[in-house]
Amino acid sequence: MTTTPAIDIDRLNVTYGDFHAVKDLSFQVEQGELYALLGTNGAGKTSTLEVVEGHRKASSGTVRVLGKDPSDRRAVRPRMGIMLQESGFSPDLTVAESVRLIGKLSGRTDTVDRVLGIVDLTRKADTRVSQLSGGEKRRLDFSTAVYGRPELVFLDEPTTGLDIQSRDALWDAVDQLREDGSTVVLTTHYLEEAQQRADRIGLMHNGTFRHEGTVAELTRTLPAAIRFSLPAGSPAPLLQAAPLADGSYQIETFDLQTDLKQLLDWAHAHSVDLVGLSAAPTRLDDVFRAIEADPVAAA
Ligand SMILES: Nc1ncnc2c1ncn2[C@@H]1O[C@H](COP(=O)(O)OP(=O)(O)OP(=O)(O)O)[C@@H](O)[C@H]1O
């Protein structure tokens, strides 16, 4: 049985006057997935999400959210929890009043106590928003994503300003939402979070995808690096080891395990110490840097 995707985007375009911010973008987010929409600054992530969240009209293309047109706010809004970068709660309201307001505005059912417990603000229930710290405000923002266990959750830079404990607690709560069946769309510039959490990633640059897939699929687009130095008087290293400016060597490889074994076998056979040996798999950061450094991609 095929299920309807939580988000289905077909040839989306967003223009601002003459400026083409999103260009023929197509992708789907499956139900229950954690999908990270990542990209360079100005890539078009916010423009895309504004259409998906029903805040902006597409210039052209088709967008379906939970099987509906996102501009049909009454049908879609109660089923979505959106944690923006700034939720803009009134500074005069207390934390409990703000959470109650989320319930009224979203139309979902929950209890204020449960939500405050999840975002760890129970002790601040009667504190005014204006008196919260930056991290506490961010946790209050997160209530919008938690209240009433929405089917589809958007997290826009959710952990910015959070200490490590609050970050862990937020991700535990996201795991819980997913266990309850929610689909999660994440945008973040903390790439290691996307690397750890995302089922799939759409990587945008200049209004379109440069890559889309699992972390393994994205990182497979670039070689991994093995680095080492050799003590003076060592024999010449394997052919594919390129000398670097600091006197060390680097082997770039798409088959880290095989090449590392070959290097270790060579060192053993020649009784050579590989000084400062490191073998780093490709990370999402490397894929990003390669996009920014690529003159064709940057055009
Ligand atoms: N209202 C607007 N009018 C004109 N141009 C806009 C408008 N909103 C966004 N843009 C431009 O569209 C492009 C995409 O912007 P968008 O905010 O969607 O990118 P983003 O991927 O979210 O970027 P960032 O990571 O920097 O937040 C940028 O070049 C931006 O300057």
Cβ 19 under 6 angstroms from ligand 1: yes
Letter for the amino acid at 54? G
The predicted-structure confidence for 50-81, as pLDDT tens digits, reads as follows 999 999 999 999 999 999 999 998 899 999 99
- Tokens 């082997």 sit at which residue? 251
Alpha-carbon span 6 to 32, nearest angstrom: 8
Query: Is this complex's ipTM strictly greater than 0.95?
Result: yes
Cβ 46 under 6 angstroms from ligand 1: yes
- Cβ-in-10-Å burial (0-12, 13-18, 19+) of 6 comes to buried
Report which protein residue has its CA nearest ligand 1's atom 5. 16
Residue 238: predicted pLDDT: 81
Indicate the pairing of strand 249-253 with strand 242-243.
antiparallel
Report which protein residue has its CA nearest ligand 1's atom 9. 47
Cβ 85 under 6 angstroms from ligand 1: no
pLDDT band, residue 109 (cuts 50/70/90): very high
The predicted-structure confidence for 183-224, as pLDDT tens digits, reads as follows 999 999 899 999 999 999 999 999 999 999 999 899 888 889
pLDDT band, residue 1 (cuts 50/70/90): low
Residue 298: predicted pLDDT: 46
- Tokens 């289905």 sit at which residue? 8
CA-only gyration radius of the chain, Å = 24
Delineate the domains of the chain, giving CATH numbers in brackets.
7-218 (3.40.50.300), 223-281 (no CATH)
What separation in Å is there between the alpha carbon of 44 and the centre of ligand 1? 6
Helices marked H in 147-298: 164-179, 191-197, 215-219, 256-269, 284-293, 295-298
Report which protein residue has its CA nearest ligand 1's atom 7. 16
Is residue 152 a contact partner of residue 4, using CB atoms and an 8 Å limit? no
The predicted-structure confidence for 223-233, as pLDDT tens digits, reads as follows 899 999 999 88
Cβ 21 under 6 angstroms from ligand 1: yes
Which is more confidently placed, 297 or 241? 241
Report which protein residue has its CA nearest ligand 1's atom 2. 16
Choose one of 20, 41, 47, 203 to mutate for the ligand 1 pocket test, by most ligand atoms within 8 angstroms of C-beta: 47
Query: Which helix H or strand E contains 83, and what residues bound it?
Result: strand 80-83
Cβ 42 under 6 angstroms from ligand 1: yes
Cβ 44 under 6 angstroms from ligand 1: yes
The predicted-structure confidence for 10-46, as pLDDT tens digits, reads as follows 999 999 999 999 999 999 999 999 999 999 999 999 9
What separation in Å is there between the alpha carbon of 66 and the centre of ligand 1? 25
**Lookup: tokens for 2:** 């095929």
Cβ 43 under 6 angstroms from ligand 1: yes
| Tally of CB atoms within 10 A around 279 | 17
The predicted-structure confidence for 232-277, as pLDDT tens digits, reads as follows 888 888 878 999 999 999 999 999 999 999 999 999 999 999 999 9
What separation in Å is there between the alpha carbon of 46 and the centre of ligand 1? 7
Report which protein residue has its CA nearest ligand 1's atom 1. 16
Whole-model pTM over 0.80: yes
